[in-house]
Structure 1
Amino acid sequence: MEGKLVGVHKVNVKLADGTSTTYYYAWRGKGAPRIESKPGTKAFTQEFIRLTRDRQQNAQAGTIGSLVDDFRSTASYKMLAPSTRRDYERQFATIRIVFEAFPIKAIEARGSRRAFLKWRDTMKDTPRSADMHIALLSNVFAWAKGEEIILRNPLEAVERLHSGTRRDIIWSDEQLSTLLTKAKPHILNVALVALWTMQRQADILTMPSLAFDGARVSIKQGKTGARVRVMAAGDILPVLREAKEEKRQRVLVNSFGQNWTSSGFRASWRKEMARLKISGVTFHDLRGTAITFAYANLDRSHEEKIKLISEISGHSSEDAESIIRKHYLAGLEVIDAIGRGTKKE
């Protein structure tokens, strides 16, 4: 594996006892950090990515490395949500390992598609991740084609390896009842806001107290940039009012009264789901569950419901309708569960 990592510096060293060993460094030169993991392993590659991710490098002109740098400097890329850019940066680090010096001219050459897909298939054990990496590389090529840097994108219409979708999953009656009646308060509050606003985890955790005006919650969606106003349901009014009264920066805080970090929440969520013995569903699946609930309770036509739900949740109309068609009838018990679980004694 180490032979495929661009920049790894290999040094053969003779030890004091007369034996020889080989050390690997993330790059050549003074101050280069040594890679401690075993060469040829996944851990070795991951450590290399971690050590070189933030290192300033000047990619060679006319290569995929320079193409990536140009793509990252565009206004549209810089406007992406910070969490999205962080994910992309990790994927770019993996892409650079293999294709940093790959000539731009060779992108258009016959057979390049096969070479890129062969690389994608080396990650087939994690198909969703493999799809994300190849999709990002395709996005770079699509941008380059639009800029007339290349004449064709060899990664157009690539079939996905991962066929699953979270749209097929919502929380069951039993799971919801357990969450809403037994979860610890700092976790329950986040779940309630998710269920009653249909927003993404990142947007909920960073929601400022100022977003609540006493009746509605104003939300700027990080992924789409869209701004929506959601009527504050009675079940989350206590959470919103408490944040206002305490003059907190954010609506939701952890068990120490501090602002959540994304990693801190994920760790706490996993721990709480294990304690409650809830498995097979994710926090993200609460959005589909909430959509099912909203559809059943809105007193509007089907078309109006779909339009309103997609505007609030950030889903496309097609995704919102797919969720509803699959889960509406089965979701009637879920609707009852939300109502029962959030009802105050």
Structure 2
Amino acid sequence: MRTHLKGINIIRRRLATGEIRTYYYHRATNMRLAGEPGSPEFLDSIAAAVEQSRQRDAGTLGGLIREFQQTAKWRRLAESTKNEYRRIFKFWEDQYGTCPYPALEDKAFRRAVIKWHDAFSEAKPREADNRVTVLARVLSWATRDGPLKRNIMDGFERAYQSDRSDKIWLPEHVDAFLRVASPEMKLAMVLALHSGQRQGDILQLAWNNYDGERISLRQGKSRRGKIEGRLVTIKCTRALKETLDHLPKRSTLILTTKTGKAFKKRYFALQWEKTCREAGIEDLHFHDIRGTTVTMLFQAGCNLGEIVSITGHSLRRAQDILDKYLARTSTMADNAIAKFENVLETDSAKQTAKQDRKNHAK
């Protein structure tokens, strides 16, 4: 039986006698490991290799990155964020992993990083920004709580600028989306519009979060990518309640794939983008729905306190959204929220429930 050992290279050699012998090497240090996998000797060898790796990159950017991954700040990050950071860490380690502390505080290091950022951002501005932002975050931690005296990357200028103040899902967009959407994407739309929650929280929404009248959940991501842990309780609209009450429970999660499995973040994004293309919707994102929900709640007469108790935004963020979005929606009728509610009850939420009942009956 073949097994995969993380961080271990497996080399097989044929001896002069014809015997096949297997050797194990610690990938980061290229140290040969003694014993067989799982044996005390093998585990001791791994521990020695890890210690050597730590000593080897002590005082360098690579060492800082490993130290950062031992902090409470790191542990509070969502797992998806950790995976993204690891991907970016690998890039910076390949580029500057052996840079010592003094070099990390030198303007020459900043110039080199900015030069790379300026060149790479011509084709991929957001990716360039993300990589430098992650590097700057590690250096910021090392300046505040670690061995560095200053964060040389503080205040770098981003290449990607996004103003989505005019990006909002209007009723015609919702109708177009629902006409071509699969039952799973319809349900995602209804959950997003009626709850105002982030995509990640909706994908994790479980049946035990719904008591038949309200949805209670502890939100995951804050604006800075930390685990916020804010508990919000949302009273279900009639449309959302009817939709949920008639959905078959194929999983512990409310929103699943057609086979009843949890959506992977990337797969959900692909399905959402595919539906938008088929509906002829351009330059509208899933997260734009939250701004729509905030705006419509305000037009329905909710004050800021009531809005943030539903969406989980901060008061300041909710006000910022309204300042941007109300200019776009000022021509909508005063009863927009009522129309929004009625449209979803008759043309989406109920259709979603009825379609699911038909599919379940089959």
Contact kept in structure 1, 2:276 and 2:282, CA below 8 Å = yes
SS at match of 1:219: strand
Tell me the TM-score normalised to structure 1 length.
0.76
Task: Give the residue type in structure 1 aligned to 2:232.
Answer: V
Once the two structures are overlaid, the 10-residue window that deviates more, 101-110 or 198-207, is: 101-110
Pick aligned residue for 1:276 from 254, 275, 279: 279
Pick aligned residue for 1:78 from 75, 78, 81: 75
Once the two structures are superposed, what CA deviation does each residue of 1:269-324 show, in whole Å capped at 9, x if it has no partner?
A: 12222222222111111111111111111343xxxx1x443454343433322221
2:265 maps to 1:259: no
Q: Per the alignment, do residues 217 and 62 of structure 1 end up closer, same or farther by CA in structure 2, a change over 3 Å counting?
A: same
Paired-residue identity, %: 29
The gaps in structure 1 that reach 5 residues or longer are 1-25, 32-55
Taking only aligned residues, the RMSD between alpha carbons, in angstroms, comes to 2.7
Query: Equivalents in 1 of 2:96, 2:340: separation in Å?
Result: 49
Once the two structures are overlaid, the 10-residue window that deviates more, 313-322 or 246-255, is: 313-322
Pick aligned residue for 1:60 from 57, 61, 80: 57
The gaps in structure 2 that reach 5 residues or longer are 1-26, 33-49, 222-227, 348-362
Once the two structures are superposed, what CA deviation does each residue of 1:238-287 show, in whole Å capped at 9, x if it has no partner?
A: 333245x6373011122223322222212221222222222211111111
Report the alpha carbon displacement of residue 30 of structure 1 after superposing the two structures with TM: 11
Q: Per the alignment, do residues 165 and 101 of structure 1 end up closer, same or farther by CA in structure 2, a change over 3 Å counting?
A: farther
Pick aligned residue for 1:104 from 101, 104, 109: 101
1:85-234 map, 5 Å: 85-124=82-121, 125-223=123-221, 224-234=228-238
Q: Per the alignment, do residues 158 and 172 of structure 1 end up closer, same or farther by CA in structure 2, a change over 3 Å counting?
A: same
Task: Give the residue type in structure 2 aligned to 1:341.
Answer: V
Task: Give the residue type in structure 2 aligned to 1:344.
Answer: T
Q: Per the alignment, do residues 184 and 148 of structure 1 end up closer, same or farther by CA in structure 2, a change over 3 Å counting?
A: closer
Q: Per the alignment, do residues 255 and 200 of structure 1 end up closer, same or farther by CA in structure 2, a change over 3 Å counting?
A: same
Once the two structures are overlaid, the 10-residue window that deviates more, 157-166 or 205-214, is: 157-166
Tell me the TM-score normalised to structure 2 length.
0.72
2:288 equivalent in structure 1:
285
Report the alpha carbon displacement of residue 182 of structure 1 after superposing the two structures with TM: 4.3
Report the alpha carbon displacement of residue 184 of structure 1 after superposing the two structures with TM: 2.3
1:344 equivalent in structure 2:
346
Query: Equivalents in 2 of 1:310, 1:320: separation in Å?
Result: 7
SS at match of 2:282: coil
Query: Equivalents in 2 of 1:310, 1:161: separation in Å?
Result: 31
Q: Per the alignment, do residues 126 and 229 of structure 1 end up closer, same or farther by CA in structure 2, a change over 3 Å counting?
A: same
Q: Higher Cα Rg: structure 1 or 2?
A: 2
Contact kept in structure 1, 2:199 and 2:287, CA below 8 Å = yes
1:229-240 map, 5 Å: 229-240=233-244
